[in-house]
Every structure is written in C-alpha cells, then in structure tokens.
C-alpha cells in the first residue's frame, strides 16, 4: 500500500518541495494551502500522514487537528512550526499530534519523522481492526446461564472487571469459554476502549514468543530491519490475553514474571526499560500444579498469575444451561445464515441434557452451527443430530448412555476418535473443533496409540 500524505501549508513552494522529495521515496503526496482546503482534501483522499502548518491564512493548525481526526481517526499528524513556538507544539501534542518539525526542514529529520509516522499509522489501523473484531466477537449473551456455578463465576467477573487487579488466571476444560470470560473481563471494565489483544502461547517457539510479546529493536537480529512493538506494548491501557499459558517456554516465563512484578520490559535487543499499564489474563486447560511438579512451569509465576483465579465448570455440570445455550446458538446462526430455524424439539433437549459434552460449549456451538448450515427446517429435530448422538440418546451404544460407566479420560479419547473420523483424518480441522493446538492433538493421538499398543 502506498502511504498517502497530505501537506497543509500556505507556502506553495514548500508543498512542491515536499512533493518532490516524498514522491521519490514512494509516498503519494497531496497539497492544500488553507485549512478549509485541507479538510476537504482529507475527506477525499483519507490520508495516512498529515503534515500540518500551525499558521494558516484562514485557521490555526491547532483548530484543525480535531476535524482532521474526525475524517481519519488513525491518520498521524506531524505539525510544522516556526522556531520559538514551543507552547503551540505542546498543545498540538496534547491534541494528538505525533511529532513536530521546525522550519526550515532538515531532510534527514523529515524522513525519520515520516518513517515513524508510517509505522505508527500501520500500528493504529492494526489496533483499530483488532478493536472492531474484538467488539463483534464479544457476545455477552453467550454467558447465559441458570446454574449456581456460573452465577458465582459471573459475579466474580463483574467484581474483577471493576477492580484494578493486574492479573487473572482462568482455568477449565477445553471449550468451556475461557476466551469469552477473558473478553468479558475487558469489555465490562474501564479498559474497554483500549485494545484487547490475545496470543496462543502454544503456537510459538521460544524466541518467537518473546518477540511477539515484547517486540524487538531495529537491528536486534538478522532480518530485524525496523523496530517492532510487541503485543504487550500495543495493548497499553487494555488487556493482554495469554491463552494456553501452560505451554509457555520456561525461559519466556521468567521474562513474563519480571514484567508482572515490575510492570517493565525490554524489547529484544533493547537496553531501555519500558513501562506500560495492562491487565494480563491467562488461561489454561492443563493442571499447572502438575506441570510445576514436572518443572515445566514456574511456581512463582503461577502464584503471580493467579492474583484472581476463575474456575469454569464443564458443560456437563451446568444442568439446563445446555438448553439455554443451544437455543441462543440456534437463533444466532439461523439469523446470521438467513435460515428458518425457530425452535428445538423437546427430545433433542433431552438428548442434550443426557450427553456428556466432552468438547463443552465449543462442541455444542459447532454442532448447532453445522446443523443450521446443512439442514432446512423450522425445528431442530433428533434426525438432525449425528448418528452417534442419536444412538447414545436411545441407550444402544456409546460411553454416555447404557453399559458400564467410563472414566473422563476414556470419554475424551472416544470423542477425539469420533471427531477425527468425522474430519476424515484431517488433524488441523479436528484440532480446531476440539479446541486444541495441532501439536496438542498430535500428543493426544500419540498417547492413544501407545495405550492401544500396550493392550
């Protein structure tokens, strides 16, 4: 994408000079000589960077900052001032200007400021996209419940959201809604206008995870051609969600602990401590105390993360909540996909209450979405359910109805095999349905194969 630059300066010669210099370096440059023309041009081209003279014939540049922001909220404004006009520069920065330049321009300084402004624009648009996506991803209605266990969880979520607690640990089986609760902690708090950023710790190797979290300085390693701000820095004022924190490499855990204790960090390759204000919300479906015993997780980090701890109950222990959630998902997906589903047959609700839901809320959500996509009906019926679930409801087969009871591990293993069969062996797709990382699924399959070989 070619960066669009708007120069608002009443001296045409400056506009021509900047056009020549910046066009040669890959910028698309537009010029205006008055405030009125500048705002009109901004509305037409939606600039990424605005070079704004503070003294214009029809307006003060200071008075234009807000109208220009309304046109393009993420545009980076560089104000231009004469020597000695320090008070105006201070006011401009308070109003949201990124940088300032003094006349006459120093070419090297100009190019450095343009590079900084371009990088800042990219980060802001990236964050704006995250904000919009995160707002749309946060559906308070998915927290519908009647059971006492979820009432206790939601009561604590509201208290923590209103508090200044800096770290929260959410535990629970895969698919119980840990990410949704993390979003609730953010969007029900005073931090909701700031970014909510997330990272899955299981998806990154050690050095890449540190770089993703804390960023790097230009020249920190081969290929580091420019400064990169990490997610922690980009989330300043908001929330950083660390999913599958139990899979975080041991050395990265030490750096996270240092940050939690001091609220300071260094970019990779940096020698300056940076301070930010964020809430860390971590989530895991593994037993961290067991990982501590195996020396895979730091005990001091565990205690530092669980300033507040939230334990989410599995869906099989939530009673009639499964019916509330099923109806919510049915109406949601029927509306989104423009289908005619309006109700769920009582026999299906009975089947849902009887089923053990090893994949928890995620499994229910995926099942309803799949049925709405495939079927055309006004009522969700038993015939729409997978054959295995119909048989279990009838008590003819399966680990959930009839026959001897099985352990939870056996139920989970059976479900994993069911999903793999449904996905025709596609492990990436199966991992998404199960709420596991691909490596996590491969580890489960390896354990299953070892157990089968031992019999």
User: What mean pLDDT value characterizes the chain?
Assistant: 85
Write down the pLDDT at residue 439: 79
- Residue, of 123 and 321, whose pLDDT is higher: 321
For tokens 């440059």, what's the residue? 29
State both tokens at 335.
């509306």
Tell me, yes or no, if the two domains 4-127 and 138-313 fold the same way: yes
Q: Which CATH class is domain 4-127?
A: alpha beta
Using 50, 70 and 90 to split pLDDT, how confident is the model at 403? Answer: very low
pLDDT at 268 over 60: yes
Cβ neighbours of residue 372 closer than 8 Å, sequence gap 6 or more:
330, 333, 334, 337, 339, 341
pLDDT at 399 over 70: no
CA angle 199, 49, 32 (to 5 degrees): 160
- Chain segment 31-82, per-residue pLDDT in tens: 999 999 999 999 888 888 899 998 899 988 899 998 998 888 778 888 888 7
Q: Collapse the DSSP code of 51 into the 3-class scheme (helix H, G, I; strand E, B; otherwise coil) and give the result.
A: strand
Using 50, 70 and 90 to split pLDDT, how confident is the model at 240? Answer: very high
Query: Which CATH number among 2.30.30.760, 3.40.50.280, 3.40.50.300, 3.40.50.2300 corresponds to the domain 138-313?
Result: 3.40.50.300
Query: 406-455: which CATH topology?
Result: Arc Repressor Mutant, subunit A (1.10.10)
- Stretch 10-22: mean pLDDT: 90
**Residues 348, 393: Cα–Cα separation, whole Å:** 9
**Residues 196, 198: Cα–Cα separation, whole Å:** 7
Check whether domain 317-401 has CATH 3.40.50.620, yes or no:
no
- Chain segment 189-208, per-residue pLDDT in tens: 999 888 899 999 988 887 88
State both tokens at 276.
């930010």
Domain boundaries, the chain: 4-127, 138-313, 317-401, 406-455
348 membership: H or E segment, kind and range: helix 346-354
0.75 cut: is pTM over it?
no
């Amino acid at each position: 994408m070619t960066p669009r630059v708007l120069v608002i300066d009443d001296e045409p010669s400056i506009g021509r000079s900047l056009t020549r210099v910046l066009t040669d370096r890959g910028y698309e440059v537009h010029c205006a000589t008055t405030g009125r023309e500048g705002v009109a041009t901004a509305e037409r081209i939606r600039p990424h960077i605005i070079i704004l003279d503070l003294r214009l014939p029809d307006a003060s540049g200071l008075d234009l900052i807000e109208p220009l922001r309304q046109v393009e909220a993420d545009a980076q404004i560089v104000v231009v001032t004469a020597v000695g006009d320090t008070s105006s520069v201070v006011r401009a920065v308070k109003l949201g200007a990124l940088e300032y330049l003094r006349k006459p321009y120093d070419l090297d300084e100009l190019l450095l400021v343009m590079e900084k402004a371009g990088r800042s624009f990219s980060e802001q648009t990236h964050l704006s996209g995250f904000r919009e996506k995160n707002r749309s991803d946060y559906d308070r209605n998915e927290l519908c419940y009647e059971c006492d266990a979820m009432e206790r969880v939601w009561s604590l979520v509201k208290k923590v959201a209103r508090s200044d607690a800096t770290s929260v640990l959410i535990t629970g089986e895969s698919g119980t809604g840990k990410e949704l609760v993390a979003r609730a902690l953010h969007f029900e708090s005073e931090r909701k206008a700031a970014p909510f950023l997330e990272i899955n710790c299981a998806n990154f190797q050690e050095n890449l995870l540190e770089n993703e979290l804390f960023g790097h300085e230009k020249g920190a390693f081969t290929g580091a051609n420019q400064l990169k701000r990490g997610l922690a820095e980009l989330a300043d004022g908001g929330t950083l969600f660390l999913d599958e924190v139990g899979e975080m490499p041991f050395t990265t855990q030490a750096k996270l602990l240092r940050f939690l204790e001091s609220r300071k960090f260094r970019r990779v390759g940096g020698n300056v401590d940076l301070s930010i204000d964020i809430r860390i919300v971590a989530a895991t479906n593994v037993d961290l105390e067991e990982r501590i015993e195996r020396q895979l997780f730091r005990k001091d980090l565990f205690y530092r993360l669980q300033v507040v701890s939230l334990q989410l109950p599995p869906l099989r222990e939530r009673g009639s909540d499964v019916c509330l959630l099923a109806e919510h998902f049915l109406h949601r997906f029927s509306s989104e996909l423009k289908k005619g589903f309006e109700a769920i047959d009582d026999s299906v609700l009975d089947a849902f209450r009887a089923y053990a839901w090893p994949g928890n809320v995620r499994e229910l959500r995926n099942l309803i979405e799949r049925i709405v996509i495939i079927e055309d009906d006004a009522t969700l019926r038993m015939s729409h359910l997978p054959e295995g679930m119909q048989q279990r409801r009838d008590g003819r087969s399966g680990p959930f109805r009839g026959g001897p009871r099985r352990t939870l591990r056996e139920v989970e293993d059976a479900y994993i095999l069911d999903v793999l069969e449904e996905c025709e062996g596609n492990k990436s797709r199966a991992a998404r349905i199960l709420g596991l990382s691909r490596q996590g699924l491969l580890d489960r399959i390896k354990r299953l194969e070892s157990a089968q070989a031992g019999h």
